[in-house]
């Protein structure tokens, strides 16, 4: 696996984890009853983007490490992925 391929795998894992992290622990202005004029009541009350970025990166690094180990060790190959998806293996 090349460095570029490893980076692409990390970017995909990080994006999925980050999108999930945006939803977790979200407290809206409507929930707190402290709506700022000009915003919706469903707007985040305390967004804390830096914390979410840090946690998403930490979780993504763990998942990425496991994926890279599985790929480089040969436990996951393109042929095994084709077998799972039902596509024929080219002979």
The residue with greater pLDDT, 6 or 80, is 6
Summarize pLDDT for 59-86 with one digit per residue, the tens: 999 999 999 999 899 888 888 888 888 7
Which residues, other chains included, contact 67 with Cβ-Cβ below 8 Å and sequence gap of 6+? Answer: 9, 13
13-37 pLDDT, tens digit each: 999 999 999 888 888 888 888 888 8
Any idea where the domains of the chain sit in the sequence? Answer: 3-85
How far apart are the C-alpha atoms of 20 and 6, rounded to whole Å?
Answer: 21
Nearest to 5 by CA among 58, 54, 80, 78: 78
Q: What is the pTM of this model?
A: 0.76
Q: And the tokens for 18? A: 């980050």
The pLDDT assigned to 91 comes to 56
């Amino acid at each position: 696996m090349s460095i570029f391929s490893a980076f692409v795998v990390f970017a995909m894992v990080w994006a999925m984890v980050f999108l999930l992290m945006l939803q977790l622990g979200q407290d809206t202005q409507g929930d707190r009853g402290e709506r700022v004029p000009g915003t919706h009541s469903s707007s985040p009350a305390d967004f804390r983007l830096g914390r979410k970025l840090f946690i998403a990166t930490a979780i993504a690094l763990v998942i990425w490490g496991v994926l890279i180990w599985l790929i480089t060790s040969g436990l996951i190959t393109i042929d095994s992925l084709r077998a799972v998806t039902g596509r024929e293996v080219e002979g």
